[in-house]
Amino acid sequence: MIVLVVDGYNMIGDWPELRELKDYKLEEARAKLVEMLAEYQAYTGYRVIVVFDAYGVKGTEKKQKEHRLDVIFTKENETADERIEKLVNEVMNVRTKVYVATSDYTEQWTIFSKGALRKSARELLIDVREIQSEIKNDVKEHQSLQPKSKIPLSDDVLKAFEKWRRGGK
């Protein structure tokens, strides 16, 4: 099993499309990151855990599932780096390979000393973009193999049917 632990705010601060959002729509940047990583998890089969730093926020740690992804907000006075180090210790075993995605150089060395492997924010972004491209190609190929309807339908009608099929209104 492969586990990828992601320092959420580190990715938001490094990935161009998220960095643009963070100053005025931080919640939207977090949601977009989680969505991108959920797609990554679904495609790779890895278990992905995203950790967001709530260091200055009062309260206890908050764990939730979003798009089948584990999302953790650290507890009061706990940094994301500290929680990531604990997670590495929790999930590390003989049958599990653990990667930590962060561009924090000190944290990379710390997790490396615990036996985990590192992936920089840039490397993860490249992986995510490659997977998005592969998914687009797979969808195009699948659509070209689908039999055409015997009843001619306009593009608008086809889009509406596809939206209904996917649970949209």
User: What is the arithmetic mean of pLDDT over 94-111?
Assistant: 85
- Is residue 168 domain-resident? no
Range of the domain at 16: 2-127
- Is residue 45 domain-resident? yes
Whole-angstrom CA distances from 26 to 6, 17, 64, 142 are: 17, 12, 18, 35
Q: What percent of the chain has pLDDT over 70?
A: 93
- Is residue 26 domain-resident? yes
The pTM of the full predicted model, rounded to 2 decimals, is 0.77
8 A C-beta contact, residue 12 and residue 30: yes
Question: What CATH number has the domain bearing residue 82?
Answer: 3.40.50.1010
At residue 109 the predicted structure's pLDDT band, cuts being 50, 70 and 90, is confident
